[in-house]
Structures are given as C-alpha cells and as structure tokens.
Amino acid sequence: MELVEVKKLQVHLDAFANRDVYLHLETTNGSYATHFNEGFFNAGAFIRNVVINYELGKVVGDSPHRVGLKLPHGWVYAQGITHYELDEHGRLLLAGHDGSGKLAVALEISETPFSY
Amino acid sequence: MTIPQERHVLVVFPHPDDEAFGVSGTISTHIKRGTPVTYACLTLGEMGRNLGNPPFATRESLPEIRKKELQASADAMGLTDLRMMGLRDKTVEFEDDEKMVGMMTDLINELNPSLIITFYPNLSVHPDHEATARAVVRAVRRMEDRPKLHCVAFANNTLEVLGAPDVLHDVSAVRDQKMGAMKAHISQTVWMLEEMENKLAQGDQETENWLTKERFYNYRWDQDFEETF
C-alpha cells in the first residue's frame, strides 16, 4: 500500500463509478479494546460483499482522508483513510492505519466478490 | 506438575496464534512423547489489525500470510494434524450454535481425545474465543464418557472467578519449540516478542516463568456456564 495522494486516488475512484461493485467496509477498535481499557466503549461495523453502484466517489481532506460514495438512494463513507492500493486483482483497497500499525478502518471496492 | 500421558490431544482455538503464547509448550511436549495432537483452528485471523505502518499487508492479503504462519507454527511444534476449519474471523459467535456444537462433536467422535484444550467460557475476552469455548463445552457436556477439558482463561477477573489455575505445566524442556511457535506468527507478534526478548535478556524472572510455565483450568462441570443447551 502507499500513502494516499488525493489526485491519484481520485482517478481510481472515478474508474469504479457507475458500475456494480462489491463493497467491503469496516471500522474497528479491535476486540481487546475493553480488555486493555475497561472503561472503553467498543464499537465498530463490518459489511462485506454487498453490491453497490455509486455515481460519485470523492476523496477529501488532508491525511487521514475522508472518502465518500454517493449512491442513487444513499451514501457510503469512511474517515481515517491513510493508505491505498490497486491490488493484483484490480481491487481498490483503502485503509486507515494508526501510528502503531493497526488497521482502524478499511473501505474496499471490487468488480468481483471478495473471498468469503 | 508433570504432564500426564494422553491417548490423543485435541486443541480447538479460533485464531492462528491463539495456540502460541499459552499452549504451544504443552502441545510440543505431547508431540515429543509421540502422543497424537490435532489442532483445529477455526479461522485464519482474517480480521487481524496488525498490518503495519507502513503496511506490510492488506485486509485481503493477510489471510494467506496468517495461513503460512499457522503452518510454520505447527511445523515448529512438530504438529502434523492441523485442521483449518474455514470460518471467518470475528463471525464465529454469529454462526448457528447447533452447527458449532456439531463441528466439535464430529472432531471428538473422529479423534476420541483423552484431553481437549480450548478457552474457558466467559473468561476468554474475545467474542470468537467465547463462541469457541461454548461450542466445545456443549459438545463435551453431551458425552457420556467425558474427556478431560483444560481451558485457557485470561479475562481481567479470572482470579476472582476461578482462583489460581489448577493445571500448571512446566514446558522449559520444549522452550525452543515454544519460541518457534511464537516467532512463526511474526506478523502479529513482532512487537510483543521484542518486548519479551528484551526482558528475557535482562534476566526478568516473571517473563521467564511466563515462558516456561503454562496454566490451565479444568472445566468446572459443577459450575457449568449454562444449565442446558
């Protein structure tokens, strides 16, 4: 993965617009957050291999960036995005990695389903 | 405590590396004696968060890395019967509960273990650990002739609930195998290992004890975590 450069990532987001794509979106504090910090309110969400079709995708802000996808009837967005990669299967993988190297958020789009 | 001779040992954990820190010495000891050991690992740790910064892997490439690490850990312990059960990390508790019991029952019926090692229900922190523990306990509860059930517990309130572990294994004779298993999972353990090796180099006795002793609780059927399932 490489650090997000807004102009480069924008080109990739544009390329996936207006077609059916599989979505992976996750936010996480890790399953041990409350174990290490007992007062911590641990929340997160995960969705994988749901098909969307966005008409507009935008990456905004300084790092960590925000990325939003406008759908005909709704929205998808993620904040905290630091890195991206167009992988060898042509999937656009975006992720937010904190200073200690832990993934905090991931937003991925692909024309073919992700593994289970 | 001397580790008793077993007929067959079945180890059930949900994540690659769950076996490494607390159980790999016990596994290696049984293998060294020629006792068959089966390790059923339910997921590939697909949702691991240690991906580095700069990242060394992506959410999509991590499973293949962890699969190789799991195999390397098995090799370090000399374990030949490694079962990857094909579930997805962080979803174990959402699987059908009866299906999970069935998965455990099938393993037990096939292998006829005299000892099963898993997590302790309600004291193992991660939702996948808890779901694994529940499934194993339920499967064993239904058996007429129950094998021994040794459980790993590490929730912050473990001492309050269970007291001190009643099974303590000295695994210093297989220290190298245990280090090998921990190092095999390098993508997830590198920071912890660095800290541990620093402490060991300084002669820290607590760390040495932690490395050479493994702690389990016999499952307390008289204080079963649920009445029936």
**pLDDT tens column, B181-204:** 999 999 988 888 999 999 999 999
- The mean pLDDT value of chain B amounts to 96
The pLDDT score that the predictor gives to residue B190 is 87
pLDDT at B12: 98
> How much is the pLDDT for A116?
82
CA nearest neighbour of B160 among B123, B116, B127: B123
Q: pLDDT tens, B115-167?
A: 999 999 999 999 999 999 999 999 999 999 999 999 999 999 999 999 999 99
What percent of chain B lies above the pLDDT cut of 70? 100
Q: Over 80: is that where the pLDDT of B1 sits? A: no
What average pLDDT does range B68-91 have in this prediction?
98
Query: Which pLDDT belongs to residue B26?
Result: 98
What is the amino acid identity at position B3?
Answer: I
Note the pLDDT of residue A45: 96
pTM of this structure: 0.95
Q: Which two tokens stand for residue B115?
A: 């000892």
pLDDT the model gives residue A110: 98
B13: nearest Cα among B33, B38, B41: B41
Nearest CA distance, B105 vs chain A (angstrom): 25
Of B51, B63, B155, the CB nearest to A103: B51
Contact state of A101 with B128 under an 8 Å Cβ cutoff: no
- CA angle, A110 then A90 then B54, to 5°: 95
Q: What is the mean pLDDT of each run of 10 residues along chain A (116 residues)?
A: 97 98 96 89 96 98 96 98 97 96 97 95
Side chain identity, residue B94: F
A42 contact B CB<8A:
no
User: CB of B155 within 8 A of CB of B122?
Assistant: yes
Quick one: pLDDT at residue B184? 97
Task: Please report the pLDDT score of residue A31 as a whole number.
Answer: 87
CB contact burial A37-76 (16+ within 10 A = b; e otherwise): eeeeeeeeeeebeeebebeebbbeeeebbebbbeeeeeeb
pLDDT digits (tens, 9 = 90+) for B35-46: 999 999 999 999
Closest CA to B229 of B126, B99, B107, B115: B99
Q: Which of residues 35-64 of B touch A (CB under 8 A)?
A: 47, 49-55, 58-61, 63
User: Chain A to chain B, count of Cβ pairs less than 8 Å apart?
Assistant: 65
Q: Give residue B192's pLDDT.
A: 87
Q: Could you confirm whether domain A2-110 is CATH 1.10.1060.10?
A: no
How many C-beta atoms surround the C-beta of residue B212 within 10 A?
A: 16
Domain ranges of chain A: 2-110
- Chain A partners of B88 at a C-beta cutoff of 8 Å? 116
Q: Which fold has domain B9-220?
A: Rossmann fold (3.40.50)
